[in-house]
Structure 1
Amino acid sequence: MINVLILDDDPMVAHFNELYLKEIEGFNLMAVAHSYEEAIAKLETVTIDLILLDIYMAGKSGLELLKKIREKDKWSVDVILITAASDVESIQTALRHGAVDYIIKPFDFERFQQALLRYKDKQQIIEGQGHLNQKALDEQLFGITDQIKNELPKGLSSSTLTIILEVIDSIGETSFSTEEVAEKSEISRVSVRKYLKFMAEIGVLGEKMTYGPVGRPTHLYVYKKEKKKSLSKFL
């Protein structure tokens, strides 16, 4: 099990992260902290493998904690940033101090899950090997393959992608939800979500979240029509 510390000064956001974490096998929430000082105290008393770290906090920031961790040899801990800080300086500082991933708020469960599972996979590879050759290192840790294939991810088809793209074209520049595309295309929401996620990953769709008065946030997409040509090789 991977022991996790969640650090966010907003109790509601910390709670959302905790709920998301519970949905992913292989992770154990050891502690929740709401300040730099509280996080240091947890690190001194609890064995932590991974910190889900916010930057903006009252008092010392998450980046200051990250720098402190790297100065202390006794803390062998990895860090994934989960923050509203989207400026290049913050991102560069986090990466230079060894952050293994950087998630910008607002985010959805799929992106959170992707970061955690990717981290878990890399940890399992590292722990299960005494040595790695260059090919194994490239493929297993860095995702580098010998050839870049112009193929859709497994389970997606060009014919369905075409249908979904036609619906998105008809919607235009207005933001839309998975449910709206599913209704117009008469394709299941589960299937549509996979195609929209793929299109977002290659930059054809932008993503944003809207928050209602109650309940979970709504995940919306925005069509970047100028990027449509990126899909031509898949159709």
Structure 2
Amino acid sequence: MPRSTEPGAPAATDVRVLVVDDDFMVARVNRGLVQRVAGFTVVGEAHTGAAALTAAARLRPDLVLLDIYLPDMSGLEVLRRLREAPGPEVDVLAVTAARDVATIRAAMRGGVVHYLIKPFTREALWERLDRYRRIDQRLSAGPEIGQAEVDRMFGGGRAEDLPKGLTPQTRELVGRALRAAGDLSATECGDLVGLSRVSARRYLEHLVETGEAEVRLRYGAAGRPERRYHWIGRS
């Protein structure tokens, strides 16, 4: 979707985020977590449903981190009104303590990109944001994509649907190494199976796209976060 190009605004490629939570402290924490992820900029906060709708209309964010429990209306009602509002569409990531099936089902039917249940780790939020940005970038790259890429975006795809340059034999080696270790960086994986870091990362990213692994971003004191790959198997 288009990014802001107004003077003084975040970089045109940044994902503009609106944080919505009834708890001022939680909203501040979530704002700080989002700001630590490269390519994301928080453009505002809201603590009620009405304020969220007003801020969304004024700020035109790309993504809303939306709590379900709000003091004046349900976050599900906010989601519905965002979907009906004129202007550019906005994506919604539900970040909430609501864990009942009816609420989760309603959020899914409302088109949330993910549903994250409180309490969660900062890494869990970073992973969802990272995945959102990668999918968003791919969908913005051209007018069409193939079925294999669509399957990978939805967490599916078959093992034989390998990207160009990857082989089933090496994919199996990388998968076995990750299963045995449980958690690896691309460098560590490459050392184990005899691949360069770049090649190992391609296979690991493929496992992420097929839903067999997930990425955990480890932030140090400075510099870019380290991507750690964690085996989860097929759901």
**TM-score > 0.5, shorter chain as reference:** yes
**Counterpart contact for 1:4–1:30, Cα < 8 Å:** yes
| Distance verdict in 2 for CA 1:109–1:155, change over 3 Å | farther
> Unpaired runs of 5+ in structure 1?
162-189, 204-229, 231-235
Give the structure with the larger helix fraction: 1
Q: How many Å apart are 1:112 and its aligned residue?
A: 0.3
Amino acid at match of 1:131: E
Of 9, 17, 27, the match for 1:4: 17
**Counterpart contact for 2:50–2:72, Cα < 8 Å:** no
Q: How many residues align?
A: 168
Give the whole-Å Cα distance in 1 for the aligned partners of 2:124 and 2:175. 17
* 2:83 equivalent to 1:70: yes
Note the aligned Cα RMSD (angstroms).
Answer: 2.6
Q: How many Å apart are 1:129 and its aligned residue?
A: 1.5
The match for 2:126 is: 113
Give me the TM-score of the superposition, normalised by structure 1: 0.64
Q: Secondary structure at the match of 2:112?
A: coil
Q: How many Å apart are 1:156 and its aligned residue?
A: 3.6
Give me the TM-score of the superposition, normalised by structure 2: 0.64
Alignment of 1:15-26 (within 5 A): 15-26=28-39
Q: How many Å apart are 1:34 and its aligned residue?
A: 0.4
Please identify runs of 4+ aligned residues in structure 1 that moved more than 3 A: 148-157
Q: Which range moves more in the overlay, 41-50 or 82-91? A: 41-50
Give the whole-Å Cα distance in 2 for the aligned partners of 1:84 and 1:4. 20
Amino acid at match of 2:139: I
Give the whole-Å Cα distance in 1 for the aligned partners of 2:175 and 2:93. 26
**Counterpart contact for 2:97–2:118, Cα < 8 Å:** yes
The match for 1:184 is: none
Q: How many Å apart are 1:63 and its aligned residue?
A: 0.8
- Kindly provide the CA deviation profile for residues 120-175 of structure 1, in whole angstroms up to 9, marking residues without a partner as x: 01110000021112123223x223232288777587462x56xxxxxxxxxxxxxx
Alignment of 1:1-235 (within 5 A): 1-139=14-152, 141-147=153-159, 156=178, 158=180, 160=181, 198=231, 201=232
Q: How many Å apart are 1:19 and its aligned residue?
A: 1.3
Q: How many Å apart are 1:62 and its aligned residue?
A: 0.8
Q: Secondary structure at the match of 2:92?
A: strand
> Unpaired runs of 5+ in structure 2?
1-13, 161-170, 183-219, 221-227
| Distance verdict in 2 for CA 1:154–1:110, change over 3 Å | farther
Q: Which range moves more in the overlay, 59-68 or 127-136? A: 127-136
| Distance verdict in 2 for CA 1:74–1:157, change over 3 Å | closer
Counting aligned pairs with the same residue, the percent is 35
Give the whole-Å Cα distance in 2 for the aligned partners of 1:123 and 1:155. 30
Give the whole-Å Cα distance in 1 for the aligned partners of 2:32 and 2:22. 16
**Radius of gyration: which is bigger?**
1
